[in-house]
A and B are shown apart, each in its own frame.
Chain A
C-alpha cells in the first residue's frame, strides 16, 4: 500500500521533527545570505517594496525546489512600518506557477495589512526563533488549510521581518501519514493549542482539538525544535 513511502526511520516524533526541521534549516540558510543583502540595501537608502521583492525573489523561488517538501508558498514578510513606501508588505510567491502574490489591498487601495497578531508573524517576532505555525485556514495568501514555517530576521537587533514557507495540510497528510502509520493507528500530531495536524486514527480529525483532561491522559512526546507533540491514544 505504501510502496512509495520512504522507510520509516526513528520514532514518530523524530519523523515529524525531521520533516518540518528541513524547512526550518532551509529558511535559516537563506536568511543568513538574505540578511546581508538587506543590510547592504538599507545602507544604500530607504528600502521600498520593489527593492524588497527583487531581493527576496531568488531566495523564495529557490526554496520551492531545494527541499523534499511540498512547498506551496515562500517568501519574506516585512516587519510592520519597516519599509519606505508601505506600512506592510508580503514579498511572497505561491502556487503551481509560483506567482508573486498580489493582494488588491496592497496594490490598489494601499491599505495596511495588519498581520501583527497572526501566529506566523507574532510568535517568531516574540520568541526570536523559528516557529511551525498552524494548522490554520490561511485567508491572506493560499486560502487553504495551511502550515507556515517562519523564522524571524534581525539586523543589529532590529526585527525586520520573517522568512517563511507554506505547506498545505493536504500535501503534508500525503507525506506523513504513510510514514507514521507503521507506528500505530492511534498517532496524532498536535500543535501548541492541542489542535490535530493529522492523525493515523480514524477517530481524530485534522482541525479538531484535544484539550484538558483528555490531552493529559495521553502519552505525549515533544518534537524537538518546534511546538508540536506526537500523542498516542
Chain B
C-alpha cells in the first residue's frame, strides 16, 4: 500500500508551466476542424519527444510533485537506465538537462552521484503551478476529480465489506499527526484503496492518475494543520457512509470535500496574486 501512487505518472497541471505538450499534440484533423472526433483520436500523433526528454520529464515531475525530495540521492545512471528501460547515455542526457534546470546537482568523488537539488521545494513548485493555472482549468480538474471519485465511492458503498473500510480508516488515523509528506502519502493511498473497493479496474486506474496529478495541490492545503484535521474528519464521514452502504450520502460528502478543496485553492491563488 506504500507507494501506490506509482510516482512516475505525469502530472499535467504541474508540467503546464512552460511545457505545453497537450497543446502541441493536436492532430492535423483537429486543427482543420473535422468532426470525426473518435477517428482523429486514433490518429493522434504518438509524440516525437525524445526518450531523454521523457526520462527528464518523469524525474522533473517527481521532484516538483515532491515524490523525490530535496537532497535525496538518485539511483546510479545504470540503475536508472534499467528502471526506465533506456540506454545509460539517454539517462546521462536527461540528467544533464535536469542539472541545467537546477533540479539536480551532481557531486564527484566518494559518496558522489546525482542528488535532488537542496533548493527543490515541492511547495514552491506547486505554488508556482497554481499561479500559472487558470481558475477555469482548476475548476475543470476538480470537476473531473469529483466525477471519478464520486463514482468510485458510490460503487464502493454498494460493494465493500465493512471490514475492508475499517482497514483504510485505521491506517489514515495512524498517519494523522505525522509529518506532511507521510500524511499525504497515506491519504493518497487511502483514496486509491477506497476507489479500488468499487471493484472497477478502469475507475481505479483513473483515480490513481488523478491522485498523482492533484496530490501536490492537496499538500499545499494540508500544510495548514486545521485543514489536515478537516480532511481526516471528511475522510471519516465518507468511510462511515461507505461502511453503512449509503451510496448517495458518500457521494455527497465527496462533493463537499472537493468543493472545499477547490475553493481553498482558488482563494489561495487570489491571495498570492494580490501579493
- Residues of chain A touching chain B, judged by Cβ–Cβ distance below 8 Å, are 88, 102-105, 107-109, 111-115, 117-118, 135-137, 139-140, 143-145, 193-195, 206-209
Contact = CB atoms under 8 A, between A and B. Distances in A.
Nearest to A88: B2
Contact of A104 (B1, B3, B160, B201): B3
Contacts of A112: 2
Could you say which interface size class chain B belongs to?
A: 35 or more
10 contacts: A107-B75, A108-B7, A111-B2, A113-B1, A114-B1, A137-B199, A139-B204, A145-B199, A193-B161, A193-B163
A139 B4 contact: yes
A209 B196 contact: no
Nearest to A113: B2
B68 A108 contact: yes
Nearest to A145: B201
Contacts of A136: 196, 199
Contact of A140 (B4, B164, B167): B4
Contacts of B171: 117
B102 interface: no
The 6 closest A-B CB pairs, nearest first, are: A105-B3, A207-B199, A113-B2, A193-B161, A137-B196, A137-B204
Contacts of B7: 104-105, 108-109
A109 B163 contact: no
A118 B158 CA distance: 21
A102 B201 contact: no
B205 A207 contact: no
Given A108-B7, A118-B1, 15 more contacts: A104-B3, A104-B6, A107-B75, A107-B79, A107-B82, A108-B8, A108-B68, A109-B7, A109-B72, A137-B204, A139-B193, A139-B196, A140-B4, A143-B205, A206-B199
Interface in B201-224: 201, 204-205, 208
Given A108-B83, A113-B3, A144-B201, A209 B74 contact: no
Given A115-B1, A118-B1, A139 B158 contact: no
B159 A207 contact: yes
Given A117-B167, A207-B200, A208-B159, A109 B67 contact: yes
A112 B186 CA distance: 12
Nearest to A191: B161
Nearest to B199: A207
Contacts of B83: 102, 104, 107-108
Given A105-B3, A107-B83, A139 B75 contact: no
